[in-house]
Structure 1
C-alpha cells in the first residue's frame, strides 16, 4: 500500500499547509516507532495533552510504525506539508541542512540532562541551525525528547573496535551513522528500521545499535545475544513541523503546544531513568550477555576512535561541538 501522503492532490496539499488561523486545527503526526517504544508513548502523550489543553482546538492524529511511509518519505511529506509533524533523529534532517546532524554526534554530551538542554529550542546552537532549516526546507524543530543511550548488540561478544573490524553492522541510513560505525571498525550497512529483524536474523549484519527500549520492543535480543553498554549516543529525538502549518496555528494554541512539548520532553528523562535497570534485567532473562567496562569493554578505545573519525569527516563541526559542550 502506498503511503497516504503520496496520494494527496496538489489542491489537497495546499489545504493541508494553509491551515486557517480561525478554525480548529488537525495535524498529522508521523514517526517510525513501534508499539511499546518510548517514542510511541511520547507522541501519544503529547497528542492527548495538547488536545485537552487547547479544549479540542488542536487535534493531533498520530501515525506510528512508518504507516505514512519510511523515513525518507516521511521527511519529504513534512517538507511539502502532506504531514504536518514528525519526530526522528536530528541527523535525519541533514538532507536539508547538513550541520543539524551535529546533535547526534557520538560522545558529544556529558549525560542525558546536558543532551536535552543542548538540543532544546532556546539553545543557541539549536536556534541558529533552526533558522537554516526553516530557510532551506520550511521545517522547524519545535521540541525534543529523550529516548535513551544507544548501545551495541551483536551475534558475538565485542570488547573493542578491533572486534568489529571487517564485520557488517546495521546503521541508520544516514551518513553520520556510517561515520560512527567506521570509527568503531565496522562495515556500515544501512537498513531501514522496519527491516532490521530480517537483517539480524539472516546474518546480513552481525549487529546493530539502538536504545534499550527499542532493542526490546523489536525483539532484537532474539538474534543478538550480546549487549555492549557503549552508550555512544545520547539519543535525543527532534520534534519538527512544517513551517507553514506551524504559522497557521493561532498564537495562543502555539504557545500551549510549546509548553506541552517542553513538559513531556522533560518527563521522557524520568521514563528512561525509571526503566533502564528493568530493561537490562529483562534482557539478561532472555539469555543476553551484558558487557560493560567491568566485564572488559574498552570504552576509551571506542570514544577515541569514533571522535577521531567524526573530526575527520565533519571538520566544520569543531566550533559547534565546543559550543554544545559549553551549554550548562
Structure 2
C-alpha cells in the first residue's frame, strides 16, 4: 500500500511539474485595443489549439513583465518564453535591425512586409540567435507620424528645439537630431505621464498606437510625416525554443504568421480609418513637406552606410529606391 501511495504521489508531482513547464508566457507592452494586444491573444489561441492543449499560454500585456528591453532580457534568461517586442529594443542586440527604420525607406506597409518576410528577415533571425533569441516572425509597428502639444510641424524647421520622445532606438534619435529637434528615448509605458507633465513637446508613432494610447488627447496636433517604419519582432528565448520538438516549433511559427496577418491588417486599417475618428475627438491634422524632410534626413543614410554599406544598399534596392 505504501509503495502504491508513493507511486501515486510521484506521478502527481511529475504531472504538476510538466504542467508548469508547459506554460508559455507571452509578454508585450501594448494595451487593450492595440493590434499587438489583439494579435497576442490570437497567438495564444492558435498555439494552444495547434499543440493539442499540451501547452497553455499566459499572455502578459501592458508591460506587466517590464519594458521591451527587460522583456528581451527575460526571454534570454527563460523567465518568459516569448515577447512581441520593438525594433528599437532589438536593435540594441542586433544593430542591423535598426536599419529597417532608415528615414523614408518604405513607401508603404506592404513594401516593408515584403522585405521582412524574405532574406532580410532570415538574416536578422540568424543574428538574433547569436544573442540567445529566436525571431519567430515580424509583426507591424507602423509608419510613424509626429504629434505635438501646440502646433503642426509641416516643415523640418518647425521641429527646431522640439523636445520629442523617441523609443530606445538610435536610428530614431539620429533622425530627429538631423531635423534639429531635441530627442530623448523613453519607455513606451512611461510616455503618457511624461507628455502630461510637460517633459516633452510631443512624440512620434503610427496612428494605431497614438489612438489606442489616447496620445492625441494630450498632443492633439498630428503631422503626417511618415518619416520611418518600425516592425514588431516576435521573439522567443533560444534556450526554450531549442528544447521544443519540431512539431511544437512549427506550431509557434504558424501561430506567429496567423496572428501576424490579423495584426498587420489591423495596423493598415488603422492608418486608413483612424484620422476621421481622431479629428472628431479634437485632433488637428496636417501633411508634411515630404521632400524637405527627405532632404533634411539624408545625412542619416550617410552615417549608416559607412557602418553597414552592403546592407544599406541591399535594403534600398529591396525597397525599390
TM class by smaller structure = 0.7 to 0.9
Q: Are 1:142 and 2:133 matched, yes or no?
A: no
TM-score, normalising length from structure 2?
0.87
Q: Are 1:103 and 2:97 matched, yes or no?
A: no
Structural RMSD (CA) = 2.2
**What is the aligned partner in structure 2 of residue 309 from structure 1?**
300
Tell me which structure has the larger Cα radius of gyration: 2
CA distance in 1, matches of 2:308, 2:276: 37
**In terms of mean alpha carbon deviation, does 281-290 or 229-238 score higher?**
229-238
**CA 1:26/1:311 → structure 2, altered by over 3 Å: closer, same or farther?**
farther
SS in 2 for 1:61: strand
Cα displacement (A) at 1:191: 1.8
CA distance in 1, matches of 2:199, 2:121: 37
**What is the aligned partner in structure 2 of residue 62 from structure 1?**
59
CA distance in 2, matches of 1:24, 1:192: 30
Task: Give the conservation status (yes or no) of the 8 Å contact 1:92–1:101.
Answer: no
Cα displacement (A) at 1:164: 0.6
SS in 1 for 2:110: helix
**What is the aligned partner in structure 2 of residue 28 from structure 1?**
25
SS in 1 for 2:199: coil
Cα displacement (A) at 1:112: 1.0
**What is the aligned partner in structure 1 of residue 315 from structure 2?**
324
Given candidates 153, 166, 170, the residue that maps to 2:165 is 170
Q: Are 1:125 and 2:120 matched, yes or no?
A: yes
CA distance in 2, matches of 1:195, 1:153: 16
Given candidates 207, 211, 218, the residue that maps to 1:212 is 207
Q: Which residues of 2 match residues 235-254 of structure 1 at below 5 A?
A: 235-254=230-249
SS in 2 for 1:129: helix
Q: Which residues of 2 match residues 58-97 of structure 1 at below 5 A?
A: 58-97=55-94
Structure 1 unmatched ranges of 5 or more: 1-18
**In the comparison of the two structures, how many residue pairs are matched?**
302
**What is the aligned partner in structure 2 of residue 49 from structure 1?**
46
Given candidates 157, 161, 177, the residue that maps to 1:182 is 177
CA distance in 1, matches of 2:58, 2:265: 25
1:253-301 per-residue CA deviation (whole Å, 9 max, x = no partner) reads: 2112212222222333322333333311111011111101xxxx21111
Task: Give the conservation status (yes or no) of the 8 Å contact 2:109–2:268.
Answer: no
1:149-207 per-residue CA deviation (whole Å, 9 max, x = no partner) reads: 21110021211111111121111122222112112221012221111112212221111
Task: Give the conservation status (yes or no) of the 8 Å contact 1:91–1:102.
Answer: no
Task: Give the conservation status (yes or no) of the 8 Å contact 2:305–2:312.
Answer: no
Task: Give the conservation status (yes or no) of the 8 Å contact 2:100–2:229.
Answer: no
CA distance in 1, matches of 2:178, 2:189: 25
Q: Are 1:234 and 2:224 matched, yes or no?
A: no
**CA 1:28/1:314 → structure 2, altered by over 3 Å: closer, same or farther?**
farther
Cα displacement (A) at 1:41: 0.8
SS in 2 for 1:291: strand
Task: Give the conservation status (yes or no) of the 8 Å contact 1:58–1:253.
Answer: no
CA distance in 1, matches of 2:305, 2:174: 9
Q: Which residues of 2 match residues 2-41 of structure 1 at below 5 A?
A: 25-41=22-38
Structure 2 unmatched ranges of 5 or more: 1-16
